[in-house]
Amino acid sequence: MGEARVCEGRCKSNTRPLSAVLKYVGEVPHLLFIYSVLINK
Model confidence over 11-33: pLDDT tens digits? 565 567 777 778 888 888 888 99
Helix axis angle for 17-40 and 2-14, nearest 10°, is 60
Q: How far is CA 36 from the centre of its chain?
A: 21
Q: Please say whether the beta carbons of 28 and 22 come within 8 A.
A: no
What is the structure's pLDDT at 2?
A: 54
User: Could you tell me which residue, 36 or 15, shows the higher pLDDT?
Assistant: 36
